[in-house]
Amino acid sequence: MIVLGSTGSIGVNTLNIARKFNLNVEVLVAGNNIELLNKQIEEFKPKYVVIANKEDISKVSHTNVQAGQEAILQVIENSEAQTVVNALVGFLGLRPTLKAIECGKKIALANKESLVVAGKFIDQTKLSPIDSEHFGLWYLLQDRKISSMTITASGGSFRDYPLNELSKVSIKEALNHPNWSMGNKITIDSATMTNKMFELIEAAWLFDTRKVDAIIETKSLIHAMVNFEDGSTTAHIANASMQLPIAYAILGKCDENILEPVDLLKVGSLEFRAIEEERYPIWQVKDKILNNLDLGVVLNAANEVAVAKFLDSKIGFLDISKITLKALDKFSDASANSIDEIFNIDKEVRKYCES
């Protein structure tokens, strides 16, 4: 397989699954963590390696190394591997998703931005999402009439912070997630609840429904629930690990033990909370976005710019949502009829938010 984003948390867990099931890794694509990449190269012996920056090529312990996004697209096209694990972060991951579809390869998709910004242009017939929530929904689906779907959120780094202190929180505090170990961008998105907005958009495309919502479950043991027309609800319960959805996305099915089962006696109790707009301002546009999924490209572009500004100490934490909400208001009529228009809207929104 091809692993895009091999040194991130999803990439590392993907290689854990590759090791467990003795899967061939033909291509590794990574960013700037050359030290970890070299360890992965030594173990998995890929045929091709792609990194972010040309300046780092000499540091990579491999004879066939390229750099940049065009190299990623070329290696997808030229590789014999029929499975692409796309764990790249952000809008950067869209073109590789489109290229993999064009080449008829199976996509195990952790790059949620692909569906968020361009869901209506993505052929899902060979796509499996790598996400505990969407995996949970898929796992629960039965041949019965569904009323609605619910995914869960952890609540992020500031779920228990006093509201009046949120304007003063530090980057270090924002990156201190209570339940998961993830990259910086997705950890900030979890704290603002933007990540859950992304997942609602993904669910809308994946399951062809607008009847999807989210609640907070503080222990991240219940990942998804399906509510049936008969009034019953089923829940997917699993320990917090991405290896289970990764294994299913790559292998199609899995009959071996991947995780330790949840011991409900040890858990004792679960806590559920509503997602409140005072703590998570982005939630006030949830219905607006679900009723116009074209706004996903606006949401993503504005959020990427705002999160980068926060991580560069240029704005405060609450300003992330403010910038995003202003952009959604400014571009409320955004509509794309082609992939080219997606890229044009993305460019316009970024220009607006940078200013």
pLDDT in tens, 50-84: 999 999 999 999 999 999 999 999 999 999 999 99
Per DSSP, 172 falls in state H
Q: Is residue 305 part of a domain?
A: no
- The answer to whether the CB of 231 falls within 8 A of the CB of 241 is no
Residue 224: closest CA among 155, 143, 139: 139
Q: Is residue 297 part of a domain?
A: no
Q: Do 80 and 192 fall within a single domain? A: no
The per-residue pLDDT for range 29-54, each reduced to its tens digit, is 999 999 999 999 999 999 999 999 99
Q: Is residue 340 part of a domain?
A: no
Question: Could you tell me how far CA 17 lies from the centroid of its own chain?
Answer: 19
Q: Do 174 and 121 fall within a single domain? A: no
Q: How many domains does the chain have?
A: 2
Q: Is residue 184 part of a domain?
A: yes
Q: Do 275 and 156 fall within a single domain? A: yes
Residue 159: closest CA among 150, 149, 148, 169: 169
Q: Do 52 and 82 fall within a single domain? A: yes
Q: Do 15 and 100 fall within a single domain? A: yes
**Each residue of 138-174: b (16+ CB within 10 Å) or e?**
bbbeeeeebeebbbbbbbbbbbebeeeebeebeeeeb
The per-residue pLDDT for range 301-350, each reduced to its tens digit, is 999 999 999 999 999 999 999 999 999 999 999 999 999 999 999 999 99
Residue 113: closest CA among 20, 192, 185: 185
Q: Do 101 and 193 fall within a single domain? A: no
Q: Is residue 141 part of a domain?
A: no
Q: Do 120 and 181 fall within a single domain? A: no
pLDDT of residue 145: 93
Give CA–CA dist 62/71, Å, rounded. Answer: 15
Please name the residue that has the structure tokens 């999803």.
Answer: 10
For the entire predicted model, the pTM comes to 0.94
Q: In degrees rounded to 5, what are phi and psi of residue 172?
A: -60, -40
Contacts of 332 (CB under 8 A, 6+ apart): 288, 295
Q: Is residue 99 part of a domain?
A: yes
Q: Do 286 and 154 fall within a single domain? A: yes
Q: Do 166 and 124 fall within a single domain? A: no
The per-residue pLDDT for range 137-164, each reduced to its tens digit, is 999 998 889 999 999 999 999 999 999 9
Final residue before a domain boundary, out of 129, 164, 194:
129
Arithmetic mean of pLDDT, 193-213: 97
Show the domain range for 157.
150-239+250-291
For the domain that residue 23 is a member of, what is the CATH number? 3.40.50.720
Q: Do 168 and 39 fall within a single domain? A: no
| Through-space distance between the first and last CA atoms of the chain, rounded to whole angstroms | 41
Q: Do 163 and 287 fall within a single domain? A: yes
Q: Do 51 and 122 fall within a single domain? A: yes
Q: Is residue 279 part of a domain?
A: yes
